[in-house]
Amino acid sequence: MSKLVFVTGGVCSSLGKGIAAASIGALLEARGWRVSMIKIDPYLNVDAGTMSPYQHGEVFVTDDGAETDLDLGNYSRFTNSPLSRANSITTGQIYQTVISKEREGRYLGRTVQVIPHITDEIKSQILRIAQNDHTDITIVEIGGTVGDIESVPFLEAQRQLILELGRENCLSVHLTLVPMVGGGELKTKPTQHSVKELLELGIQPDILLCRTKIELDESLRRKISNFTNVPFNSVLSAIDVPLSIYEIPVIYHRQGLDLIVLNKLALPVRDADMEAWNRVVDSLYHPQKTITIVMVGKYVELQDTYKSIDEALVHGGIANGFKLDIVKIDAEKLEKEADPESLLGQADGILIPGGFGQRGIEGMVVAARYARTHKIPYLGICLGMQVMVIEYARNVVGLANANSTEFDPSTENPVISLLADQIDVKNYGGTMRLGKSPSEIIRQDSNIYRAYNQNTILERHRHRYEVSNRYRQKLSEWGLVISALTPDHSLVEACEWSDHPWSVGVQFHPEFQSKPLSPHPLFRAFTQAASERQ
């Protein structure tokens, strides 16, 4: 049975609970401990798969095809925690499970209630991960804000687990806000009230992480300690970082957060190996050069919509010693622009990410054509690969009305379409290719082979439409390089433009496996190609 670390948040949302939880995991791993991460989301959706990016940011996909909250992406980037659908818990999942059990008669006719049946199911799902023999410490992030009615059952489950397992086996970390008001004064009252609400639920926090613009001085930390009953040395500053979230583990390490966690959990203190994280921070502060990557997408006005891609690009820059200036352009704006040069001319590299629906597609086609004809390094991910094929079919092969049946069901040349066995499936999830699966690189003279340097790769998918096999031979005859296929050679997994310095379109999502300590080979190769083009 592993130890449990609960991470909660107060005052307001979006303070960075996910980054705090991931940073704790990174620090514990740096001291040789094995961690598992769990994210609890209090919404009633069963998962994030059908939620709009405008509502919830990106959907992060695990190896087993779970569509989860973007915080699991942070866990993946900061730690080596194995992630699956079991690591993502939602209110919808919990209630669905309990109601299914009730319908099956498994509660023996008893009245089904929030306590104990909902809280017992929450505890059961947490302990399913915590009881893994390969885990020393399980970190559980409870989403939402203390005081929200939606989070109460999860906080009650936390209280019960602390009582049942003992305080030496459970730790409560609470992230709060210490705002700065006029004149630069920091105010501790919101933190005091947040801890008070937590205490009313029966939970005494062991560690306070105080989100603040500047580091808290000793007097403020003592004041917060006195009013919250949290030891002085466990009141830490979660300061705004000037450059990158990858500074946060280093900042927490300097304040001794990992030592406090281990001491409170009565675990041996091993030496910390922070060399890799220090190298990452040093690379961010001392880049050799700056390159500009233009991303043309559907949801560019929202910060978290392409979170994993943004971070994977940063990782590629770290690998090569570059700083990346990521310029995001709304594909619809590009559709209306008479001269694409005015928006795309600044690009050292062009990236088109994934997405669903017709909106903005013609703008993406313009961007793909610009990258191809102006010899700009191009990376197309999922929809970005499909757009690459559509553009090539129209402007090189001569199929003027080529399209995807997703955008034009009656197109005469459906170069992108559903497979025959998908067409009559009504459940959206039923037509998705989800999770990790192998691809075979069939061209060793390709950019994708030079990036991976191996014939078989494993990557995560999340898409519905495929390159139509009716057009594969014709596209190849006109110079489109089909560089990777599924192992049975039935589906296209990657393609490239011939006579182009660097271009790769992939049907999968490589961004989900990139980490700052091990950048993904495609993003490493793409940023290097952009640098050479510059």
CATH classification at residue 365: 3.40.50.880
Domain identity same for 267 and 327: no
The residue-averaged pLDDT of 350-366 equals 92
102 shares its domain with 10: yes
Q: Which of these three, 279, 303, 327, is where a domain ends?
A: 279
Residue 506 three-state SS: strand
Residue 394 pLDDT greater than 50, yes or no: yes
Contact 191, 24 (CB under 8 A): no
Helix locations, 31-179, DSSP H: 53-56, 71-78, 91-103, 119-130, 152-165
**DSSP of 4-45, one letter per residue?**
EEEEEE-SSS-S-HHHHHHHHHHHHHHTT--EEEEEEE-SSS
Q: Are 397 and 475 in contact (CB under 8 A)?
A: yes
Angle between helix axes 17-30 and 71-78 (nearest 10 degrees) is: 20
Rg (CA), the chain: 25
Task: Pick the last residue of a domain from 245, 279, 313.
Answer: 279
Whether 274 and 291 share a structural domain = no
Among 141-145, 178-182, 250-254, 372-376, which is the least confidently predicted range? 178-182
**Residues 480, 401 share a domain:** yes
pLDDT above 80 for 54: no
Tell me the mean pLDDT in the region 43-66.
85
Are 265 and 167 members of one domain?
A: yes
- Do 169 and 100 have their domain in common? yes
Do 247 and 350 belong together in one domain? no
pLDDT at residue 310 greater than cutoff 80: yes
According to the model, what pLDDT value does residue 497 have? 97
Give the pLDDT confidence score for residue 325 in this predicted structure. 96
Check residue 269 and give its pLDDT: 95
Identify any residues that bridge with 8 across adjacent strands, giving them in sequence order. Answer: 174
342 shares a domain with 267: no
Q: Give catalytic status of residue 382 as yes or no.
A: yes
* Domains identified in the chain, total number: 2
Residue 125 shares a structural domain with residue 273? yes
Is 12 in the active site?
no
Residues sharing a CB contact under 8 Å with residue 466, sequence separation 6 or more, in sequence order: 416, 417, 418, 419, 491, 492, 507
Please tell me whether residues 37 and 177 are part of one structural domain: yes
Predicted model pTM: 0.93
Q: Give me the chain's average pLDDT, please.
A: 93
pLDDT score of 431? 59
Q: Is 364 in contact with 331 (CB distance < 8 Å)?
A: yes
Which residue among the candidates 382, 459, 493, 496 is catalytic per the annotation? 382
pLDDT tens track for 485-531: 999 999 999 999 999 999 999 999 999 999 999 999 999 999 999 99
pLDDT at position 299 is 86
Cα 334 from Cα 340, distance rounded (Å):
7
Give the pLDDT confidence score for residue 272 in this predicted structure.
95
What are the respective helix, strand and coil percentages of the chain, to the nearest 5? 40, 25, 35
Cα 118 from Cα 352, distance rounded (Å)? 43
408 pLDDT more than 90: yes
**In the Cβ-directed half-sphere of 375, how many Cα atoms lie within 13 Å?**
6
At 422, the pLDDT band (50, 70, 90 cuts) reads very low
Q: Are residues 105 and 180 in the same domain?
A: yes
pLDDT the model gives residue 169:
97
Q: What is the mean predicted confidence (pLDDT) over 324-330?
A: 95
Rounded percentage of the chain residues whose pLDDT exceeds 70? 98
Q: What is the pLDDT of residues 280-290, one digit of tens each?
A: 999 999 999 99
Is the domain of 239 the same as that of 293?
Answer: no
Q: Which residue type occupies 43?
A: Y
pLDDT at position 111 is: 93
Query: Annotated catalytic, 210?
Result: no
pLDDT of residue 242: 86
> Which one of 279, 305, 331 terminates a domain?
279
The predicted pLDDT at position 386 comes to 97
Domain that holds residue 321: 287-533
CA angle 40, 43, 44 (to 5 degrees): 120
For 51, the 3-state DSSP assignment is coil
* pLDDT above 80 (res 36): yes
Q: What is the reported pLDDT for 227?
A: 96
What pLDDT does residue 420 have? 59
d(CA 97, CA 103): 10
Which one from 117, 253, 315, 509 is the annotated catalytic residue? 509
Closest CA to 47 of 464, 423, 434, 358: 434
- Which CATH number fits the domain that encloses residue 59? 3.40.50.300
| Residue type at 147 in one-letter notation | G
